[in-house]
């Protein structure tokens, strides 16, 4: 089991009571109830945040490289044109 840690939040008594009642109605502990609501949103938001962010200059350099003709790589060309053991003899 992974090491567990605490997350403490402060709420007024009314909110705590409503959350506790909702957890009870769902057959869960307060921790299970809150985590069940918070975790999917946190996971979605952090997954969406894994985007590549570039400055305008870096973006232009990137697109220039994409638009440039490919480099000659003799080693790769030789590798791709040689016969392999899987080809018919």
pLDDT digits (tens, 9 = 90+) for 58-88: 999 999 999 999 999 999 999 888 888 887 6
Taking the whole predicted model, whether its pTM rises above 0.75 is answered as no
From the number of C-beta atoms within 10 Å of its C-beta (0-12, 13-18, 19+), residue 67 rates as exposed
Output the pLDDT for position 1.
Answer: 63
Output the pLDDT for position 88.
Answer: 66
Alpha-helical runs (H) found in 1-89: 13-25, 30-48, 56-67, 74-81
Work out the pLDDT band at 6, boundaries 50, 70, 90: very high
Q: How far is the C-alpha of 40 from the C-alpha of 46, rounded, in Å?
A: 10
């Amino acid at each position: 089991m992974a090491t567990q840690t605490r997350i403490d939040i402060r709420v007024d008594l009314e909110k705590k009571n409503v959350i506790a009642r909702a957890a009870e109605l769902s057959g869960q502990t307060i921790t299970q109830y809150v985590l069940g609501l918070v975790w999917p949103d946190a996971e979605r938001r952090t997954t969406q945040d894994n985007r590549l962010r570039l400055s305008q200059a870096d973006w232009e350099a990137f697109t220039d490289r994409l638009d440039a003709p490919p480099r000659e790589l003799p080693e790769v060309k030789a590798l791709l044109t040689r016969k392999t053991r899987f080809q018919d003899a």
